Chain A
Amino acid sequence: MTIFLSTLMVGLRLGSIYALIALGYTMVYGIIRMINFAHGDFIMVGGYTLVFTMPVMTEKLGLPAWTGVVFAIIVCAIVGVLVELLAYRPVRKKGTGMSALITAIAMSLILENLAQAIPAIGPNPKIPQVIFPASSLTLAGITIDTTTIYTIVVAGAMMVLLTLLVKKTSFGRAMRAVSENKKAAVLMGVSVDRTILLTFAIGASLAAVAALMYIAQYPLVFTTIGSSLGLKAFVAAVLGGIGSLPGAMLGGLIIGMAESFTVSYISSAMADTFVYLILIIVLLIRPVGILGKNVREKV
């Protein structure tokens, strides 16, 4: 029973991190129908920003280490906006869906290589300082470490906030309008370009928060940290139904749980196998993903 409950908590923690990242994929897909392959690398950008800013926060300002996430969010949002502004937008306005896709893959490789070329980063992994001091909480017989609790609570809060933003605010309506019908959105006075930029900024900010939570648990930052993490989050987004926000959250949780339970009860070597197996089975039964809608292509 204890093993089951702690496995559940680990699954929740992993799942919330995947969900935060998956939201970035799904938001961008929803608005420009493109898979942003560079999204995983925003985690890397956030991770390094944390490595460099956390010592400043703790040593110079006497603040807790996690406050570095403010800079991670700002830097990630700027990188997200620049990627859209300098690469995706010009290509989208000129080319086809395929050229946009290739540009996204190229952007991912450029970010990873660029990071390695920066002397302060280099090819060797960096170890960030301790983010949440080790402590734990015993609840109903099981012991949970505080990092896990923080991760679940913060990710949950981010998801609630994002849902409110999209459902209840004027900006959220504009985002949905652009996603559904760009021409009609323009006729309502919505600047499509600006809305897309803000979507990138929000998606990248969520990746920055995910980076904080991830390296709080696994304290190692390297230039390809985003590729496997990003791929799994992308799988989560597809599993839940790409383009759907609740889908990304659900997909993230399922992948996190699958991974956690495989590691606990079967074998850690099988974790990824099960994750991708679930993806294939779900897509065979529901090709658009669990909560996905059939998106009609507008002529």
Chain B
Amino acid sequence: MSMLEIEDLQVYYGRIHAIKGVSLSVEEGEIISLIGANGAGKTTILHTITGLTKAKSGKIVYDGHDLLSIAPHKIVKLGLAHVPERRQLFERMTVEENLLMGAYFRTDKAAVRYDLGRIYKLFPRLNERKSQIAGTLSGGEQQMVAMSRAMMSQPKMIVMDEPSMGLSPILVKEVFGMIKEMHDLGITVLLVEQNANMALAIADRGYVLENGRITMSGTASVLASDDGVRKAYLGDR
């Protein structure tokens, strides 16, 4: 059984038909990239997975749970974390408070402290800035906090929305390095990106989303060498 299975998903914003029958699957241990232009519906799909947007019809099954019938705030407890677009940190809270929010639902306080220490060891920069107000961090540091915050929930799977947005090429590399590290820890990743080059380089398989429909799917290397994909998303002329 797949870790995540989406079947014939239909989502509307009022009268706008945003997602028109999307089906996709993510197997345990995979990195899957969902690429597509601005407004294709990538963020909507992630929002529907974690309950921030309601689906009209279709099915989303994660680890045996029917996500469309679960209260949104209970989804993270199933081991499915969401790193949202533009990071969505709690900007008036400190870095440490943001990380603790990631572990909000956990009752194993000692283990939470341990995980916090592990994150600080992994990212000494966050340790230095743990009492700093999150909104005053640089974009790269904020992305680091957002991803670490997701890690604090001990996820089995993470969905990530444009983690490279607004970052310099060096920082983009750093962020993709983090994604790899998460994956090495056994976390399954569904990655939404406009930076298709990087996204396909790191992924096992990929899907191309256009106007709310999946128009292509396959292994990352096949997609990366496809002429249409190259022209539309990889900047080839």
A residues lining the B interface (CB < 8 Å): 170, 173-174, 176-177, 180-181, 183-192, 293
Contact = CB atoms under 8 A, between A and B. Distances in A.
B67 to A, nearest CB: 13
Contacts of A176: 90, 92-93, 97
A180 B92 contact: yes
A183 B46 CA distance: 13
B73 A173 contact: no
Interface string B202-230: 00000000000000000000000000000
B50 A180 contact: no
B104 A190 contact: yes
Interface in B56-109: 71-74, 76-77, 81-82, 84, 88-93, 97, 100-102, 104-105
B100 A173 contact: yes
Given A180-B93, A183-B52, A188 B104 contact: yes
Contacts of B97: 173, 176
B142 interface: no
A177 B101 contact: yes
Interface of B: 50-52, 71-74, 76-77, 81-82, 84, 88-93, 97, 100-102, 104-105, 149, 153
A185 B91 CA distance: 12
B154 to A, nearest CB: 12
B73 A191 contact: yes
Contact of B77 (A170, A183, A184, A189): A189
B102 A188 contact: yes
Contact of A180 (B71, B73, B91): B91
12 contacts: A174-B101, A174-B104, A177-B104, A181-B90, A183-B84, A187-B81, A189-B76, A189-B77, A189-B105, A190-B73, A191-B73, A192-B73
Given A184-B84, A186-B52, A187-B50, A170 B153 contact: no
Contacts of B76: 187-189
Contacts of B100: 170, 173
Query: Top 8 A-B pairs ranked by shortest CB distance?
Result: A189-B105, A184-B88, A189-B76, A188-B104, A188-B101, A191-B73, A187-B82, A186-B73
Nearest to A183: B52
A248 to B, nearest CB: 17
A199 to B, nearest CB: 16
A107 to B, nearest CB: 27
Contacts of B101: 173-174, 177, 185, 188, 190
Given A188-B76, A189-B73, A191-B73, A173 B104 contact: yes
A173 B74 CA distance: 18
A188 B73 CA distance: 7
Contact of A188 (B51, B71, B91, B105): B105
Given A183-B52, A183-B84, A186-B51, A170 B104 contact: yes
Contacts of B153: 188-189
A187 B82 CA distance: 7
A170 B96 CA distance: 12
A184 B134 CA distance: 14
Contact of B90 (A170, A180, A293): A180
Contacts of B84: 183-184, 187
Contacts of B88: 181, 183-184, 187
Given A183-B84, A189-B74, A189-B76, 9 more contacts: A176-B92, A187-B81, A187-B84, A188-B102, A188-B104, A189-B105, A190-B101, A190-B104, A191-B71
A184 B47 CA distance: 11
A186 B102 CA distance: 11
A156 B225 CA distance: 69
Contacts of A190: 73, 101, 104
